[in-house]
Each structure stands twice: as C-alpha cells, then as structure tokens.
Amino acid sequence: MLKIIIQNLFQKEIFSPLEECKVIDLIHENRIDWMHACGKKGRCTTCKIIVLEGIENLSAPTEREEFFKENGRLTEYERLSCQAKLTKGKIIIRVAEENKFPHMTYSE
C-alpha cells in the first residue's frame, strides 16, 4: 500500500492500494487542493513537493525535473508532484512556502 503524509497540512495521511501512481494524482483524488499552474505537464514548478522522507520510494527524476534542477529551480530533495510516481512504501512531504494557496490553512 502506498502512503503520503503531508507534514504541513496537519500530518494529512493519504493511502492508496495502487502499485504506482503520480503523487499529484493521489493528492487530488483525496480532494486536497494542490497547485499545478501548467496543468500537470511538467512545465513549471508550482506543484513541487519537498520530500522529507522516502525519496527512494519515488520514481527516478524525469527529464523535466532534471532540467529544473540544472537551472536551480529544484533542489536535491524537491520533486514535481506531476512527474514523480510513488512506487512503493511511503513519503513524507511538505507544501513549499511559495506554492501555498491563500484559501487553505497550513500547519507549522
């Protein structure tokens, strides 16, 4: 079973019986509003996640993610939720400060 914990959304836990799924799809399927300005196409960084634990449980970075890393728009522990697939186990993530919605309440 796949599991996502969103630390700064009050430790929100998301579970999925799927074997593999894009992180943003799991988040949206659980009715959590998550920014994605380019429509989940990997053209921006508004859907990025900060991975605190479990980065090894994600698919390898895509070409788009490598592009943003090379240009200093993603760090080693940041991934695009529209590109990264959770392939096993769990991840603990945070919403980046610059990608928080004003209509949502965040913890920490």
Q: Domain map of the chain by residue range? A: 2-92
- Quote the CA–CA distance of 47 and 51 in Å, as a whole number: 13
Asked whether 51 and 93 are in contact (CB, 8 A), the reply is yes
What CATH number has the domain spanning 2-92? 3.10.20.30
Residue 108 banded pLDDT, cuts 50, 70, 90: confident
pLDDT in tens, 25-65: 999 999 999 999 999 999 999 999 999 999 999 999 999 99
How many residues in total does the chain contain?
108
Which residue intervals of the chain are DSSP H helices?
A: 23-29, 63-70
Q: Could you give the 3-state DSSP secondary structure of residue 64? A: helix
Which among 70, 68, 65 has a CA at the least distance from the CA of 82? Answer: 65
pLDDT at 101: 95
pLDDT at 81: 98
This prediction has a pTM of: 0.94
